[in-house]
């Protein structure tokens, strides 16, 4: 790898005291308020064709603190307030660079509750983390140790919709050396009946975490729907129950994907996948729920950063590559391949499993692209030659 260290976030659960929870809740509210004020100021300036940057909003923050109406901003640490202004600056930079949409205002109910502290806003000594404006360290559940001899450069405290508290510490994680190089490569085709199909012939079952908890989720949502709308305690309690079901689903899905991606990276030097546009696929209303539950985007993201850490290679083959209709033995392209055909026999006499054949073709295409230095996308075929997954999203979830 190019460097022996990577920036890595270590996330832990913690249980705040009543005083700490109150202080953090105030901080979350102040961060949201400052972000919205700065966004409004920059938006108004934009209509007047005036330029407002981070330095200008920082000066505004100083002025806001001196007003009677916003004097409460002085009660919390200034570090998270400054950090939210930096985040807003990054959001505008991405917007002007056409990498993101225009920044949106933060909602009290729907936006993520979080606050980021830099080194001047916390103290980390002897394995204990103490935030600014707090007397006692956080009671953190250390599920895994931080890198030896490393201290966090930033700390982000958050509370999810289920009421759970988390602290994320960004550290330089030393990776002494990549994994030993191997000559193994694998093609990976994703699906709904099976989550992953490997070119080796192995099929990994789709656990369907959301479907397993669908009855529990539906019951919690029915209870929430019957509560009177507003800020009542009963509605808030019902909303947390729904959030807890969602959190359970997300946690199990993430754990499963971590195990799969780690295994693929450890066992293979080169991993070839299909370059899918999941954002467009979820527009299919009959399959959006199943595609979201499969979390293909999350799988690809995990695979890419783990491969980068440990000296592996991930190749993405163009989504229009006809992996399903191409014979992996003789290279003959079939004219049609209906979705109800799960096994087929080529003119050369080879009988193919549809999904395994697609994975083998992805592997061959990825190797060819890597060998010729053509990048991660082989020559695109006509849109009529759809891949197995492009066709898969046109049928209903079983």
Task: Give the catalytic positions in this structure.
Answer: 189, 274, 355
Cα separation, 144 vs 146, whole angstroms:
7
Region of residue 330 (left: phi > 0; alpha: psi -120 to 50; beta: else): alpha
Kindly state the tokens that stand for 187: 């093609």
- The overall longest dimension of the chain from CA atoms, in Å, is 83
End-to-end CA separation in angstroms for the chain: 43
Question: Which alpha helices (DSSP H) does the chain contain, by range?
Answer: 18-47, 54-65, 78-96, 209-212, 214-226, 233-267, 278-281, 288-294, 296-309, 354-372, 388-392
Instruction: Identify the three-state secondary structure at position 63.
Output: helix
Q: Which long-range contacts (CB under 8 A, 24 or more apart) does 364-372 make?
A: 364/187, 364/328, 365/272, 365/317, 365/321, 365/323, 366/185, 366/187, 366/270, 366/272, 366/315, 366/317, 367/185, 367/270, 367/272, 369/315, 369/317, 370/270, 370/313, 370/315
> How many CA within 13 A on the CB side of residue 320?
8
Q: Which long-range contacts (CB under 8 A, 24 or more apart) does 341-346 make?
A: none
Integer CA distances (angstroms), 7 to 56, 122, 169, 288, in order = 30, 19, 10, 33
Strands across the sheet containing 140-141:
113-118, 154-159, 165-174, 5-14, 140-141
Cα separation, 215 vs 211, whole angstroms:
8
Q: Specify which residues 12 forms β-bridges with.
A: 167
Integer CA distances (angstroms), 355 to 195, 209, 342, 352, 391, in order = 11, 22, 8, 8, 12
Question: 153: how many CB neighbours lie within 10 A of its CB?
Answer: 12
Q: Tell me whether residue 118 is exposed, middle or buried, using C-beta atoms within 10 angstroms of its C-beta: 0 to 12, 13 to 18, 19 or more.
A: middle
């Amino acid at each position: 790898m190019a460097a022996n260290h990577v920036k890595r976030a270590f996330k832990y659960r913690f249980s705040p005291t009543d005083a700490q929870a109150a202080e953090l809740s105030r901080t979350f509210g102040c961060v949201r308020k400052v972000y919205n004020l700065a966004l409004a100021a920059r938006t108004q300036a934009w209509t007047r064709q005036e330029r407002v940057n981070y330095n200008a909003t920082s000066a505004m923050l100083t002025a806001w603190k001196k007003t009677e109406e916003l004097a409460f901003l002085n009660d919390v640490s200034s570090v998270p307030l400054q950090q939210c202004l930096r985040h807003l600056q990054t959001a505008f930079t991405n917007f002007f660079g056409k990498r993101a949409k225009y920044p949106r205002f933060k909602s009290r109910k729907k936006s993520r509750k979080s606050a980021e502290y830099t080194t001047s806003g916390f103290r980390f000594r002897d394995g204990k983390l103490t935030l600014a404006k707090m007397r006692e360290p956080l009671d953190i559940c250390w599920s895994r140790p931080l890198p030896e001899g490393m201290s966090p450069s930033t700390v982000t405290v958050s509370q999810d919709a289920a009421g759970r508290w988390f602290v994320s510490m960004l550290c330089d994680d030393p990776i002494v050396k990549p994994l030993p190089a191997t000559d193994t490569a694998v093609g990976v085709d994703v699906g709904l009946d099976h989550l992953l199909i490997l070119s080796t012939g192995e099929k990994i079952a789709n656990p369907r975490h959301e479907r397993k908890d669908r009855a529990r989720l539906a019951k919690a949502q029915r209870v929430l729907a019957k509560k009177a709308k507003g800020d009542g305690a009963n509605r808030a309690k019902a909303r947390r129950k729904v959030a807890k079901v969602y959190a359970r689903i997300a946690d199990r899905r993430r754990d499963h994907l971590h195990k799969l991606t780690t295994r693929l990276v450890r066992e293979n030097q080169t991993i070839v996948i299909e370059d899918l546009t999941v954002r467009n696929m979820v527009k299919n209303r009959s399959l959006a729920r199943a595609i979201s539950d499969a979390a293909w985007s999350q799988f690809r993201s995990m695979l890419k950063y783990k491969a980068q850490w440990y000296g592996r290679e991930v190749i993405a083959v163009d989504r229009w590559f006809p992996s399903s209709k191409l014979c992996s033995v003789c290279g003959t392209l079939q004219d049609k391949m209906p979705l109800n055909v799960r096994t087929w026999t080529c003119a050369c006499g080879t009988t193919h499993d549809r999904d395994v054949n697609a994975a083998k073709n992805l592997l061959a295409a990825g190797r060819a692209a890597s060998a010729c230095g053509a990048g991660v996308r082989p020559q695109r075929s006509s849109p009529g030659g759809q891949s197995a997954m492009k066709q898969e999203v046109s049928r209903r979830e079983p």
